[in-house]
Amino acid sequence: MAPKHQAPRGTRDLLPDETALWRMVEAQARGVLERYGYGEIRTPMFEDYELFARSAGESSDVVQKEMYRFRDLGDRDLALRPEFTAGVMRAYLEHGLGGRARVHRLWSMGPVFRYGRPQKGRYRQFAQLNCELVGSAASGADVEMIALFVDLYEAWGFPDLTVLVNSVGQPATRRAYGDRLREWLAPVRGQLGADSQQRLVTNPLRVLDTKDEGDLALLAGLGTMPRLVDTLDAEDRAHWDDVRAGLEAAGIAYEIDHGLVRGLDYYTRTAFEVHDRSLGAQSALGGGGRYDGLIEMLGGPPTPGVGFAIGLDRALLVLEQRGVRADNSRTVCLVAMEGTRAAATALARELRREFAVETDVDARGFSAQMKAAGKSGARWLVVLGEDEWKRGEVALKDSETGAQVTLARTALADALRERMRDRGEDR
Ligand code: HAM
């Protein structure tokens, strides 16, 4: 019989096998964030609709088509967050953080909501890891941000991703550039898809963001695209040059992508993204940039900022495709015989003060337990044979190397500790 209810379209359940990998990825990220001196900020999952509409931009897809907007029982106009930045800046102002320190480094992790068309790597509820550096207009802040961005992926085992960077200037520069783009696109205007035609009117830069194959072919057939960086004013130009020099000095590989415009309206100057081609159309693993006008737009004093968000679902998809599994190097599986079951229960309790321990609660036979241990992926196997137990001994097996030793039961915890430390896995 089919179940009566299913998870809403565009949402998914993560089962224990999957959450184990998620937790590993989250823990690795927390380590990197801590080493960069970032503090965690947790903001509500919903805010006033107006906050998101103003910050992301009325003409952005996120506001136009993707917002989970609702009225609560008190008739408030609210929306589930489609991203973190707006809420984090709202909190920054509400708590007067700007008055407490010049620079704030803030990170958040959790679900965000966008009503898009679901497909692989695109969900209506997905998770982001979001970082913001608020209070510095210096190019060094952009460079630190991009370094953190890259180092997070590196910690997850994405060794050779390239960051795409561009400068999107100021709103006025973009308006002027938009006019040049309209001219450039004029010959194919009537052939573009409906979405791009609409964008050509409201925000021509967004045409560059199209995923439509037909549109992309038309763009490719046009002559050399005018470049946004060629229309930057002197200060933005100097900032752009400094950011690139800083990235080079930091040894961060990057490519300039003149078509990179980002989907949210608040960006100024630096914009960046990371892509992974194995994801197909939804290839953006993460992105961000500078947003020097955002806090002022939300009613605060002029305050520069730069940040990014990583789409965790997409990062996890890539890791799963590559066969990365959760770290079981600290997991011990106890296998007991008929005569050692009671002892195994006590031993498991004792070891659980320090280690992750799995045991069989069903009193199954030896081979069923061994099979389950293999499936669980536990790195360490402790077998409590009846004769050995009588002698005060247990067998310890490393399931990765197959090496097995018999040792005194009293020496077991020390032996496990030592082995985990030897492998640099004592984290
Ligand atoms: P964004 O580029 O809109 O930036 O989103 C960041 C990442 O979230 C994307 O690169 C992608 O990996 C992931 N993502 C977006 N939509 C979906 C979806 N429907 N399903 C799965 N993953 C998705 C921002 O959100 C900005 N707030 C980043 C930022 C922070 N800029 C400055 N500070």
Tens-place pLDDT, residues 96-145: 999 999 999 999 999 999 999 999 999 999 999 999 999 999 999 999 99
Q: Nearest C-alpha to atom 33 of ligand 1 is from which residue?
A: 307
Q: According to the model, what pLDDT value does residue 68 have? A: 98
Q: How far apart are CA 258 and CA 139, in angstroms?
A: 19
Give the ranges where 36-95 is alpha helix by DSSP (H): 49-56, 61-65, 85-94
User: Which amino acids bring their CB within 6 angstroms of ligand 1?
Assistant: 83-85, 114, 116, 121-123, 126, 128, 130, 132, 263-264, 284-289, 291, 307-309, 311, 313-314
Using most ligand atoms within 8 A of CB, pick from 66, 83, 112, 124 the residue to mutate for ligand 1: 83
pLDDT band at 407; cut points 50, 70, 90: very high
Q: What pLDDT shows up at residue 425?
A: 45
One-letter amino acid of 96: G
Q: State mean pLDDT over 389-418.
A: 95
Q: Residue 423 Cα, ligand 1 centroid: separation in angstroms?
A: 36
Place of tokens 């430390």: 421
pLDDT of residue 427: 42
What is the mean pLDDT of the segment spanning 177-205?
Answer: 90
Across 282-293, average pLDDT = 93
pLDDT given at position 423: 61
Residue 413: which of 370, 368, 355 has the closest Cα? 355
The protein residue whose alpha carbon is closest to atom 12 in ligand 1 is 311
CB 150 within 8 A of CB 165: no
Ligand 1, closest atom to CA 263? 3
Q: What is the mean pLDDT of residues 387-392?
A: 94
Task: Give 214 Cα–ligand 1 centroid separation in angstroms.
Answer: 25
Q: What value does the mean pLDDT of the chain take?
A: 93
Residue 10 CB burial class (10 angstroms; 0-12, 13-18, ≥19):
middle
Task: Find the 146 Cα to ligand 1 centroid distance in Å.
Answer: 15
Most ligand 1 atoms within 8 A of CB, residue of 41, 122, 128, 268 to mutate: 128
Is the predicted pLDDT of residue 426 greater than 70, yes or no? no
pLDDT above 90: percentage of residues in the chain: 79
Provide the 3-class DSSP secondary structure of residue 5: coil
Among 174-183, 221-230, 292-301, which range has the highest average pLDDT? 292-301
